[in-house]
Structure 1
């Protein structure tokens, strides 16, 4: 699963690949807490165990989705 976070005054969004066992409801809860002002920093742990901190006041958008792999060959439609 991939999460993209827009950060104010930065042209490119952060793209973080989450571990396969990541729970979407827990991630959404953390994001909502950060956006509501309950957290000053949104911490996200990627698939390699690295932690990324984003100041909650600078978050412009969050996109949670699956990784899209391009289709190649005869099966591509």
Structure 2
């Protein structure tokens, strides 16, 4: 699951491939924004944790990873 996170006052977004489902990521974001958790905590595909202060979240984009194209053809 590809997750892109915008952080206030940061020039770039954080992009991770998470092993968590979309529902799990959405619940973690909702908990962080509601004040139930002070940090948004997500785990990437390598087992590393990403922690972001809830009060610094600008946006969270949840989506499936794009399929990587292989080869030299320009066919779509």
TM interval, short-chain normalised: 0.7 to 0.9
- CA distances 1:36-77 after superposition (whole Å, capped 9, x unpaired): 111100111000000010000000000001222454515x32
TM-score by length of 2: 0.86
Q: Determine the structure 1 residue equivalent to 2:21.
A: 23
TM-score by length of 1: 0.85
Question: What aligned pairs does 1:1-77 form with structure 2 within 5 A after superposition?
Answer: 1-19=1-19, 22-69=20-67, 71=69, 73=73, 76-77=75-76
Runs ≥4 in structure 1, deviation > 3 angstroms? 69-72
What is the number of residues matched between the two proteins?
74
Describe the SS at the equivalent of 2:24. Answer: helix
In structure 1, stretches of 5+ residues that fail to align are none
Q: C-alpha separation between the residues in 2 aligned to 1:18 and 1:3?
A: 7
